[in-house]
A and B are shown apart, each in its own frame.
Chain A
Amino acid sequence: MNATWSRFNITSIVLGFAFLYLPIVLLIVFSFNESKLVTVWGGFSTKWYVSLFHNQGLMDATWVTARVGVISATVATVLGTLAAITLTRYTRFKGRVLFSGMVFAPLVMPEVITGLSLLLLFVAVGLDRGFFTVTLAHITFTMCFVAVVVQSRLVSFDRSLEEAAMDLGAPPVKTFFQITLPVIMPAIISGWMLAFTLSLDDLVIASFTSGPGATTLPMKIYSQVRLGVTPEINAACTILIAVVAIGVIIASIANKRREVQRQRDEQAAQRG
């Protein structure tokens, strides 16, 4: 590995990071802008954050998004986990290939098509579009992501753990809840977080399947931007970025700590 700080290395790093993060930095900086004009700096101020919390429309949208996210991620996690278990455990049922294809198709399906087809379905069965339909749509498209994450964990799962539990007298259901579930729990949690994040920033499918009174945050931001970007939106996005960043940082620190602790334990165990 080349560890020297040559001019070329520095330039490429600066350019690379600028490409990735300059837009976000700009957004954060302008969220503290005194001026109402988005592109003209008028001095430091936090007034847009204050006004943000008085913007009832934005606050409502945030609340809708949070509820849709939690409910859809939870249901998708249950269904996705079940699908993953079926796919890894029951490898010889009829139509398995079709089933796995159908579970994973939404991964590559263009969102526009998913959204449109769901819209057509909801109209056809006469379902009023609103909170319920958005949630349903999000469950549908996030479920397959959960299934992928959980399945990859289940593939490396040592089946003899379950056999040992049964051998020691635990019936299959008990074995599942006391052994299988706790062991694959980290994968299920990451599946849930992935589903929640996907639901949080989905615009396309939500636009198709949502109705009056169930505007999600991405939809709200998008519609406001069309009327002109206000610093309020910048502030809202900055808060969103902060929440996500803090979540990611906490998760990775916890992960790192656990890893280090584990390594230390293992070394200690090997020594005696």
Chain B
Amino acid sequence: MKSLGSIRRDFAPWTDPNAKPYIQFDKVTKKFGDFTAVNNLSLTIFEREFFALLGASGCGKSTLLRMLAGFEEPTAGRILLDGQDLRGIPPYRRPVNMMFQSYALFPHMTVEKNIAFGLKQEGMPAPDIEKRVAEMLRLVKLEQFAKRKPHQLSGGQRQRVALARSVAKRPKVLLLDEPLGALDKKLREETQFELMDLQQELGLTFVVVTHDQEEAMTMADRIAIMDKGEVMQVATPAEIYEAPTSRFVAHFVGNVNLFEGKVAERSANTTRITGATGAEIVVDNAANTATGAEIVFAIRPEKIKVSSKKPADAVNALQGEVYDVAYLGDMTVYHIRLDDGQMVRASALNASRVTEDPLTWNDRAWVSFRPDAGVILAR
């Protein structure tokens, strides 16, 4: 059996039917006046999972996080944490902590006092607080900044103080609202890996809200793609990318080519699709689609091979003309107009410095791909 790419193979409680869910959204709806921010949503998150809520702004992902933190109450439905219904529990009594997008550092307190704030509310004895604060400062490498106030720190340092403050209480769940949104690109990439290390080290459950798909793909064990208050798909980054279950998800994550067509014939192992304009595509049987069904065939650009001659062994090969070429250094992106008028985006890794088969504007070209290179989606 072929498998999709994965990083943490040993950690997959969602595949275990006996695994106990840690956070459960049970048919949760949240309305603000006439606007439905979250619509009858159910979702399960497991202990120690790094879970990402990914979606465009206004899709309800932040509302979901704020309901978990206790700043908003669901209009309908239940939210369970470790079996306990959270309804009616105010934010200051929930065993979850949040890292805010704006960091929300207390401007009149030093770094030290910011981190100690939550511990003081807990009534922890002073020597223990001191020890914990020192430990947190070490964890985020800010020991020499303990006495500084937030305005005396750089953006990256502030982000780390916010992080230290939110994990100081050892919450059951850490909620992160666009944790890296305010950092520049380079710092963001570094911090992504730091966050992952931290999550492993502390063994906490992380729920992160982001609109940046690369960030979600890098960090998360599983991603929930959200749109208009609903979850479109929950899966590992690899599944989301390689096996999207809907047109929306295929479109939302990465680039994709969509061929509209009809299932012409189903045999034991393959499905033959005829496009609207007559082109034929043969794919592995994946979806349980019936003959004659109207479907969309989705294929990622890097799964498509571009060549000047028709590859001899190709199952699927379509002819067209090079419409556009973009050289990006690590790869080259081709836009090919097929003879039936459909535009196809294909990308080729520049594995060697010179190409044997250079293609340029207006050249005749073949695009080819394997039967297992794409997925069939409902129209």
Contacts and interface: CB of A to CB of B under 8 A. Distances in A.
Contact of B152 (A168, A171, A266): A266
Of listed A165, A166, A171, residue having the most chain B CB within 10 A: A166
Contact of B91 (A167, A179, A262, A272): A167
B323 interface: no
B47 to A, nearest CB: 21
Nearest to B116: A168
Contact of A160 (B100, B152, B153, B157): B100
A269 B157 contact: yes
Q: Size range of the interface on A? A: 20 to 34
B98 A167 contact: yes
A174 B122 CA distance: 13
A268 B152 contact: yes
Nearest to A185: B108
B263 interface: no
A43 interface: no
B97 interface: yes
Interface string A164-184: 111111110010000100110
B104 A161 contact: yes
Contacts of A168: 92, 97, 117-118, 121, 165-166, 169
B107 interface: yes
B291 interface: no
Nearest to B107: A183
B367 interface: no
A223 B235 CA distance: 85
A84 B93 CA distance: 29
Given A163-B71, A164-B100, A183-B107, A262 B92 contact: no
Contacts of B104: 158, 160-161, 163-164
Interface string B135-153: 0000000000000110111
B108 A182 contact: yes
B173 to A, nearest CB: 12
A11 interface: no
B102 A160 contact: yes
Given A161-B104, A268-B152, A272-B154, A167 B97 contact: yes
A265 B154 CA distance: 10
A6 interface: no
Contacts of A163: 69, 71, 91, 98, 100, 104
A171 B118 CA distance: 11
B106 interface: yes
B90 interface: yes
Nearest to B152: A265
A167 B97 CA distance: 6
Interface string B150-163: 01111001000000
Contacts of B149: 265
Given A166-B90, A168-B117, A168-B169, A161 B106 contact: yes
A171 B89 CA distance: 12
A4 interface: no
A270 interface: yes
Given A164-B100, A168-B97, A270 B154 contact: yes
A168 B166 CA distance: 8
Interface in B168-204: 169
Contacts of B106: 161, 164-165, 179, 183
Contacts of B169: 168-169
Contact of A269 (B101, B108, B118, B154): B154
A269 B97 contact: no
Of listed A165, A179, A268, A269, residue having the most chain B CB within 10 A: A269
Closest 3 CB pairs of A and B: A168-B118, A169-B121, A164-B104
Interface of A: 158, 160-161, 163-171, 174, 179, 182-183, 262, 265-266, 268-270, 272
6 contacts: A160-B104, A163-B69, A163-B91, A167-B166, A168-B118, A170-B121
Given A158-B104, A265-B149, 17 more contacts: A160-B101, A161-B106, A161-B107, A163-B98, A167-B69, A167-B166, A168-B92, A168-B165, A169-B93, A169-B169, A170-B92, A174-B121, A183-B106, A183-B108, A262-B151, A266-B152, A269-B157
